[in-house]
Amino acid sequence: MTKHLLAATLFLAACGSKSDSSKTKPPATGSGPTAQGSGTATPTPTPTPAPTKPEIGTWGFDAAGMKPTVAPGASFFQYANGTWLEQTQIPADKSNYGMFTALADRSEARTKEIILGAATAAGPDAKKIADYYQSFMDEAAIEAAGIAPIQPDLDRIAAIKDGAGLIAEFGDAARHFRRAPFGTLVAQDDKDPEHYIAVIGQGGLGLPDRDFYEPKAAQFAKVRDGYKQYLEQLLTMAGVKDAAPRAAAVYALEEKIAATHWTKVQNRDPQKTYNKMTLAELQKAAPGVDWAAWAASVGLAAAPAFNVNQPPAIAGIAKLVASQPVDVWKDYLTVHTISAAAPYLSKAFVDAQFTMYGKVLSGTPENKERWKRGVDGVTGAMGEAVGKLYVEKYFTPATKAAADQLVKNLLVAMGQRLDGLTWMSAETKAKAKAKLATYNPKIGYPKVWRDYGKLEVKAGDPVGNAARAAAFEYDRNLAHLGQPIDRDEWGMTPMTVNAYYNPGLNEIVFPAAILQPPFFDANADAAVNYGGIGAVIGHEISHGFDDQGAQYDAKGALNNWWTPDDSAKFKTATNMLVAQYSAYCPVPAADGKPALCVKGELTLGENIADLAGLTVAYSAYQLSLGGKPAPMIDGMSGDQRFFLGWAQVWRRLYRDQEFANRLVTDPHSPSEFRVSVVRNLDAWYEAFKPAATDALFLAPDARIKIW
């Protein structure tokens, strides 16, 4: 489903195959710096750090991981990271590995300690955390239960006799975040940002994207075969007769659903995905489903209107609901009910699901240790309850204060860059500055913690706990409808190694866990911090001005604030970036198979934010020096250390199938090409003197400059 966080998240897809993951609570902060976006204030000079050794290397960079035999201009990614890439192996339980995953591992271990400590801690949340985790870890009881915990669900599905029964079950699936043909949530209204709206989006696929079902996509042939086997296996485990032909019918149904879906590039357009309709209008646009009954089943009968993200897809799926046999839909619901519950069932179900979504889909050899899966489950169910304890133990007031200051410096630098733009008119520039002035930074943790009082957790009921946690979260989201916009809500937990920008709230959000080395270290060289967390901050700031974010105004409304001439100039520059990234083909053509290339249109927003974020971070670093030259350290200038800090955070290895998947589904470019954005910055050329014959070299007039 298309919505703000999906497009504006900087690092989520970089962290894992499914997602992309002190002492005393710091005081809550205000909504942002007073000088932000003014273009006249000067960033506060970075204080000289205490003479304490940084966590990484002698100045915050792992120089041993470099490969100095590679010329910076040939591959800055290899120059900065080549030895690390050669000597590092992807852990057996991961589809990829890099700085994000290394830091996520640390966060995961710390979270485990917190969860284990909850068993003896005071308070209702602590008991719920402990019971949820301990219930999941009781493998003997889970093994003895087998499929019994979900048998009532399977029996209910088996009893469905008609379309009305299907609609009711689709609603139950939506309420528990099981797979359903239509996705639903309540979100901020893009064109009326002071109010919430119910949203309907395309759904229903067991594979990650419509493109996986395309027979001509040879890179997914084994995935398709594995998925067909998985569907048959689940039906067999449910005791269904004739499992093979019935699984084939379910797959054929999903193929038909996939054919209706919009592509990921189409879904990046917030104007096209905004289609406000009443239920009556939806009924006319998408016959085949009783939409009033569907709205009642998902708890949205009273919703005055719906934003229908992809009207043709919703109409196409509705037609399939009406035209495809009820029994095939029942088998579809059966397999996806089992698959959703599989992590909480006996080993046979766990292994079946991991074989499909771990080994086959991502090439991951081994499942995560059970305690890690338990941590994932608890943080998914009660993330902020755990996060509150995490912040108290691991996020110091000093770290928060330093991060607050860095954000202020980056906002000022962005304002000064806006002032210096030569391609933008004064009229549009003034509106851009007004938008920047409304930015709301959120650092570390929420000001208001989520209340889990209504969540029921029962000792010894792992399947029920997961189902109730899903329903709790669904109901919490649904309760937004008709209420004032919650500007304190967070979309990530403090333990998440990630960051995001939300255009409707015009906020930039940096969880506590990302504010650690190699991104940020108070004892590291300032240049490395600005190249690391500074570029992260700059990236998120820049999302407000990428090809999607730039369509939202200072109030968070989807509203064009550009003059036609400025819009055309912006489009020309972004088209150049599309072309630059589309030329990267990391998997060459071979054995009659076409090359696999970066999708420049899909990754455009993230590429704009990388380019602008690094540019703004460099400006902020220069301003932070207060007019004084940066010291030389280990023979390297401040500018060289800045760019190495950027390259270091993108150290990453991928398994082959995972890499192929990401080229189709991930709005982020592969790490190597995120590093290569340096080729557009004049300061990088001054720092490393690449030869005109080097692969990364661009003539000055070919270097792309946007913000």
pLDDT at position 41 is: 43
Q: Give the whole-angstrom CA distance, residue 468 versus residue 73.
A: 54
User: In this predicted structure, what is the pLDDT of residue 491?
Assistant: 97
Strand 652-654 to 96-98 pairing = antiparallel
Residue 494: pLDDT band (50, 70, 90) is: very high
Residue 375, judged by CB atoms within 10 A of its CB (0-12, 13-18, 19+), counts as: buried
Does pLDDT of 319 surpass 50? yes
- Does the structure show a pLDDT above 90 at 320? yes
Is the pLDDT at 586 greater than 70? The verdict is yes
Share of the chain above pLDDT 70, in %: 93
* Residue 31 in this model has a pLDDT that exceeds 90: no
pLDDT, position 85: 98
Q: What pLDDT band is residue 304 in, cutting at 50, 70 and 90?
A: very high
pLDDT reading at 43 higher than 50 = no
Across 136-150, average pLDDT: 98
pLDDT at 33 over 60: no
pLDDT for res 599: 98
Span 147-344 CATH architecture: Orthogonal Bundle (1.10)
> What pLDDT was estimated at residue 42?
41
105-129 residue pLDDT tens: 999 999 999 999 999 998 899 999 9
The token duo for 17 is 């195959």
Measured in residues, the chain has a length of 707
Note the pLDDT of residue 48. 43
Return d(Cα 407, Cα 332) in angstroms, integer. 48
Over residues 437-481, the pLDDT tens digits come to 999 999 999 999 999 999 999 999 999 999 999 999 999 999 999
Residue 273: is its pLDDT beyond 50? yes
Location of each CATH 3.40.390.10 domain in the chain? 4-22+54-115+373-446+490-702
Query: Per-residue pLDDT averaged across 258-275, rounded?
Result: 98
- pLDDT value for 3: 40
For 183-215, write each residue's pLDDT tens digit. 999 999 999 999 999 999 999 999 999 999 999
Residue 14 banded pLDDT, cuts 50, 70, 90 = very low
Q: What DSSP string describes 52-83?
A: ---SSTTTSS-GGG--TTS-TTT-HHHHHHHH
Which residues touch 618 (CB under 8 Å, ≥6 apart)?
A: 530, 639, 642, 681, 683
Model pLDDT, residue 45? 45
Q: What is the dihedral of CA 276, 279, 285, 290, to 10 degrees?
A: 150
- pLDDT at position 27: 26
658 or 2: which leads in pLDDT: 658
Q: Is the pLDDT of residue 23 over 50?
A: no
Computed over every residue of the chain, the mean pLDDT equals 93
**Residue 403 in this model has a pLDDT that exceeds 60:** yes
pLDDT at 274 over 50: yes
Q: Running DSSP on this structure, what letter comes out for residue 110?
A: H
- Res 387 pLDDT > 80: yes
Q: Is the pTM of this model over 0.85?
A: yes
Q: pLDDT at position 674, please?
A: 98
Assess whether the previous peptide bond of 594 is cis (omega < 30° from 0). no
- The band of 52, judged by pLDDT with boundaries at 50, 70 and 90, is confident
Statement: residue 20 has pLDDT above 90: no
What pLDDT does residue 7 have?
33
Predicted confidence at residue 65, as pLDDT, reads 98
Residue 389 has pLDDT above 80, yes or no: yes
Residue type, 679: R
- Percent of the chain residues past pLDDT 90, beyond the cut: 91
CATH of range 4-22+54-115+373-446+490-702; options 3.10.129.10, 3.40.390.10, 3.30.70.1890, 2.60.40.4070: 3.40.390.10
Residues of the chain with CATH 1.10.1380.10: 147-344
